[in-house]
Amino acid sequence: MQLDKAVEADGLQRFIQEFALLAQIQHPNVARIFRQDFSVAHAYIAMEYFPQGDLRARMKTGTITPEMAISYIKQIAAGLSAIHDVGIVHRDMKPDNLMFRQDGSLAIADFGVAKQTVMKITDTGDGDIVGTPYYLSPEQALGEQVDARCDIYSLGVLAFELLTGRKPYHASSAQELLRMHVQDPVPLLPPEHASLQAVMESMMAKNREQRYPSARTLLDDLARMGL
């Protein structure tokens, strides 16, 4: 996070306070923060190294089985529960921010607390969308204040992708994609995953009041299903 004139004092204070909280978390599904400090022009953190890369790279291999997908969803939910318990909302859940340890476990990293809350969205003109928030919650798309339930929505988008190999929403423009997040129904899972449709609906509900109230309730629901 570059410290220039655009960074307000309260934003810097939030950076300090929230990473201090994260550094206290000792959870197998949350990246370990070793140090936060400042240089002349930057604030920075020292975080553990992940030798096995990120979930995005793993997804590109096409080797994720349904059992692995469920395991990853549960690990991410457990990590979210830990950071939500200390009052942190990640706000940028996506495969690139989920890292594999040497033992194969997943850990949440690249916390949204260090990011601008307004994402840059750019159309390239040839059908690609650079910086498009495929995992953005409806309330983020609308510019509303967020809470932990925005991370649960993003996990729902990621869960759909893990189970099906495709994102739930596709559009030719950033504006249309944002509209789909806000208005379009949750797409149906394929028949082999139909038993998880209710779970998907509860993660990706457009109205956050209809979502799982916490990552822990999602885990409890999966446990009741024997997953």
Q: What is the DSSP letter of 74?
A: H
Between CA 223 and CA 216 the distance in angstroms is 10
**10 is a catalytic site residue:** no
Q: Which two tokens stand for residue 61?
A: 């291999």
CB neighbourhood size of 119 (10 A): 15
Token duo for residue 105: 């476990």
Closest CA to 76 of 216, 182, 200, 212: 216
Catalytic residue among 92, 96, 123, 128: 92
Mark 6-45 as b/e (b = at least 16 C-beta within 10 Å). eeeeebeeebeebbeebbebeeebbbbbeebeeeeeebeb
Tokens of 202: 């509860």
CA distance 109 to 87: 16
68 Cβ neighbours under 8 A, 6+ residues apart = none
Name the residues annotated as catalytic. 92
